[in-house]
Structure 1
């Protein structure tokens, strides 16, 4: 199994490198549009397959995770998650503002080299974006949320004629009407809110909902097994995507030279955030090596770079955290889908640098209040940027908020293919560090929940032993959890301490003896049934002798 993991990691990294090399080798031959389409076709199919799996993966993972934790533990995990994500997003924005103000990559002379941009300012504001996210959290139709989400738009209406009373001139003012429309994108945030509530209710119902809980646990195991098989297609899809994107770039050399300092500023900011800020935060909380943590995340980071989508990387991130780093799946299955939707550390930093860079191009001096406004708006706007390859809409909103021209933003598209991939990798790394920190902060409560669950199972078994004429054996869902390696680390600790609790139950002597022998390793379902049958048989014989 270890060799397979290493091979998949090597293939993923090699696919990124090979895609870059092939892209630069093929570019000088000026391939036709049909050839470029064929090169990118495997990557296109790959992305469609991955996006097809996102919906069932999110629903099964979030519901199964929260159904297996107590309501108070779910509340604590949620609060810590939101605090962590808001903190890291603000820190990344602050880092970007400090760097771009210090390096000052924007030179007004670049406007003459690059020409004028073509984008127009939008009528949307940061408030519109924030309210749209609140609306999407509570979709009116959960089925519609699987393929559409709400978005505010300003539609032009019939121009109004305004008469100037002094000069008698008549001017035309273009008016816009605010409307709510639906865009063809999955409302991931709304689905997470719905699934979170669903999972918490299942947890509260407990034994009444045991069948439904087991259903989602098994469904989650099926989806992850399916994705594990699909992971061997990732290198081919990543190679195709990277190669096609490099071939598609226009005027790469000229624009790269003109925007070199801008690219360096963004990359430096992303590196500082990913190699200094996040590791330091992780170390301060957990007192563990952040670089050992990052080593276990290499495949997820390479996949994020290749796909430029934190949503498409989600299955690989799950696997890296749960199998390589032994993070409790109840934490990863809630924290990562939410993080892929609302937290975009790399995107927030990139947006802050891009906005101030454009201000520098036009030699516009930004006040301290402008910088504060930029930091707040980029933090809010990045929350709504979604888990798919990023566009420029959120940056246009920030530019409009501070009164900067948005037309020159199109000049940055030439280098966006590279920066988008790097900032997506930073987004995934930030989510992963968050899962590690939250796992550390909540492990005691999760261990307590595991112990309570083991106590419940033993009580059921004792009831069977005290009623030997009952034919039904207790069927625990513990074996299902073991199959998908749920809470592997905390369960070991719980089993070691469980014997101290077990003596309080005053169990029959024969069962206590059997239980002691079965503490390590945890028996599977068949072994557990055989053990109980033997115990019941012995109990019957002892009763007959008496």
Structure 2
């Protein structure tokens, strides 16, 4: 026979409560708290591990830096990080092509045009705002003032940058890459203009001409692949039933790619740890560079902080009325990946995965906008390029006039579209800006010397702009869907006919059977974006 529970003396006036009941309640509360803690850790395991990987990488790199490793040993130390980059780059091609084809095919032409128009307007406006912010900070902070004595030799920087490309050829190459002559080659090569010197002797007068010739350089032509994927998706949509088979194949390919991405994400913390650690080990005399180019580094990072921490969140809040930092909190893993890899393209797989699972963004929106944004939306790069142009102008004691400032704004916005989403991809595009405003390009090596510092915040701002753009488009799409749903509800008023009475209801009310709704009156599920 079980011993009955005894009441506590202080609870005599509450006879229904027993010590056993209180203990059981306490245990249940503890169990509930433990379950919530376990659930939180499971849900945010990758985020916690990724942030820990960055912190451990900093400590590991600092410790290994004092061991004076040889070049070969540094290569071995960086191997796990190199493997992460190779995994992420491996998945970019199928992810971009399949996601854009399935995304474009899931939207009708009208929706695609409206969605694309909003995205292009967002990308253009935010990039222009970023460029304007960088120029304003450049004139306020004056990072190049008093830096005229700096040169590459004094800082021990190797000058290996070739910047003899004409501005017009740079923009023509951008247009050529939009239309790749060979789709297979576009997966690993892109078009670039080179020059051949041609000397002529006419009646004793020697003239030298530089003739542009086309060459293929290593690097994926992602701009051409993006355009082709969009066009193919629209074409498959136009085919109707005949194109559905291929659309389903691309959808399945896309989902399988995202499964592979989820596997790769578990390796991200390890790869990031060694990427950050190896970069700290490899860097040169950081104290000398920071003291010499500190104002430029400060101005660039401050521009990224203002644009990424104030301007972009305000734009998101203005359109959605929601807390932007709650939205960004779900994207810590992609931001850490962007910081470690300095590559917008390499961050794309983790960004798509997290923005769909953590923030609930529609797959059709995220897989349509994010690949395009990773290619053409470079807010951080625009800040970095404009700041570098102002820095080099001030270093050479050049006073920029209104025309030159306008040229910097336009050229930086346009050239950021063609900037490769790879580490140090934006450095060479600065040459286009410098050529356009008539400044020397021989000081670009100074920018490249500290690019590994600035490029990390640059990439974070780039991917943040893409993510918030996807969030804005998702909100507008949901709002439009709700509006259309409300209009349908206004037209078809639900009314249950009174079967027991012969009395008529109002002729304005359309009766519908609740059990079997006619297909013509049933509101279809959202198979297409309504934007």
Say which one has the larger Rg: 2
- The answer to whether the 8 Å contact 1:355/1:398 transfers is yes
Alignment of 1:268-417 (within 5 A): 268-391=302-425, 392-417=427-452
Paired position in structure 2 for 1:22: 60
Cα shift at 1:128: 2.1
After superposition, what is the alpha-carbon deviation per residue over 1:442-494, rounded to whole angstroms, capped at 9, x for unaligned?
A: 33556799x8xxxxxxxxxxxxxxxxxxxxxxxxxxxxxxxxxxxxxxxxx99
- The answer to whether the 8 Å contact 1:125/1:397 transfers is yes
After superposition, what is the alpha-carbon deviation per residue over 1:152-195, rounded to whole angstroms, capped at 9, x for unaligned?
A: 222333487998xxxxxx9x775321111111211111111111
Distance in structure 2 (CA, Å) of the matches to 1:256 and 1:159:
49
Unmatched 5+ residue regions in structure 1? 164-169, 452-492, 514-518, 523-546
In the alignment of these two chains, the number of paired residues is 470
Q: More deviation in 416-425 or 149-158?
A: 149-158
Cα shift at 1:65: 1.5
Unmatched 5+ residue regions in structure 2? 1-38, 497-508, 527-531
Q: More deviation in 236-245 or 203-212?
A: 203-212
When residues 93 and 11 of structure 1 are mapped into structure 2, their CA distance, relative to the original with a 3 A threshold, is same
- The answer to whether the 8 Å contact 1:113/1:258 transfers is no
* 1:438 correspondence with 2:464: no
When residues 144 and 121 of structure 1 are mapped into structure 2, their CA distance, relative to the original with a 3 A threshold, is closer
Normalised by the length of structure 1, the TM-score is 0.79
Q: More deviation in 198-207 or 97-106?
A: 198-207
Q: Which residue of the other structure, out of 174, 178, 181, is the alignment partner of 1:140?
A: 181
Distance in structure 1 (CA, Å) of the matches to 2:179 and 2:105:
20
- The answer to whether the 8 Å contact 2:177/2:190 transfers is yes
When residues 500 and 27 of structure 1 are mapped into structure 2, their CA distance, relative to the original with a 3 A threshold, is farther
Distance in structure 2 (CA, Å) of the matches to 1:67 and 1:214:
10
Alignment of 1:59-458 (within 5 A): 59-109=97-147, 111-112=149-150, 115=153, 118=159, 122-158=163-199, 175-391=209-425, 392-444=427-479
Distance in structure 2 (CA, Å) of the matches to 1:214 and 1:90:
38
When residues 162 and 227 of structure 1 are mapped into structure 2, their CA distance, relative to the original with a 3 A threshold, is farther
Q: Which residue of the other structure, out of 74, 77, 96, is the alignment partner of 1:36?
A: 74
When residues 94 and 383 of structure 1 are mapped into structure 2, their CA distance, relative to the original with a 3 A threshold, is same
Flag the structure with higher helix content.
1
- The answer to whether the 8 Å contact 1:342/1:383 transfers is yes
- The answer to whether the 8 Å contact 2:492/2:510 transfers is no
Q: More deviation in 341-350 or 411-420?
A: 411-420
Cα shift at 1:228: 0.3
Q: More deviation in 106-115 or 335-344?
A: 106-115
Distance in structure 2 (CA, Å) of the matches to 1:2 and 1:221:
26
Q: More deviation in 237-246 or 110-119?
A: 110-119
Cα RMSD, aligned residues only: 3.3
After superposition, what is the alpha-carbon deviation per residue over 1:406-450, rounded to whole angstroms, capped at 9, x for unaligned?
A: 22221233321111111000000000011111222233556799x
Distance in structure 1 (CA, Å) of the matches to 2:192 and 2:482:
42
Cα shift at 1:197: 1.4
- The answer to whether the 8 Å contact 2:98/2:254 transfers is yes
Distance in structure 1 (CA, Å) of the matches to 2:150 and 2:423:
30
- The answer to whether the 8 Å contact 2:377/2:416 transfers is yes
Secondary structure, counterpart of 1:21 in structure 2: helix
- The answer to whether the 8 Å contact 2:166/2:435 transfers is yes
Paired position in structure 2 for 1:8: 46
Distance in structure 1 (CA, Å) of the matches to 2:322 and 2:201:
64
Q: More deviation in 427-436 or 143-152?
A: 143-152
Distance in structure 2 (CA, Å) of the matches to 1:389 and 1:119:
16
Secondary structure, counterpart of 1:418 in structure 2: helix
- The answer to whether the 8 Å contact 1:24/1:247 transfers is yes
- The answer to whether the 8 Å contact 1:162/1:173 transfers is no
Cα shift at 1:216: 1.7
Distance in structure 1 (CA, Å) of the matches to 2:318 and 2:514:
48
When residues 315 and 113 of structure 1 are mapped into structure 2, their CA distance, relative to the original with a 3 A threshold, is closer
When residues 223 and 362 of structure 1 are mapped into structure 2, their CA distance, relative to the original with a 3 A threshold, is same
Secondary structure, counterpart of 2:266 in structure 1: helix
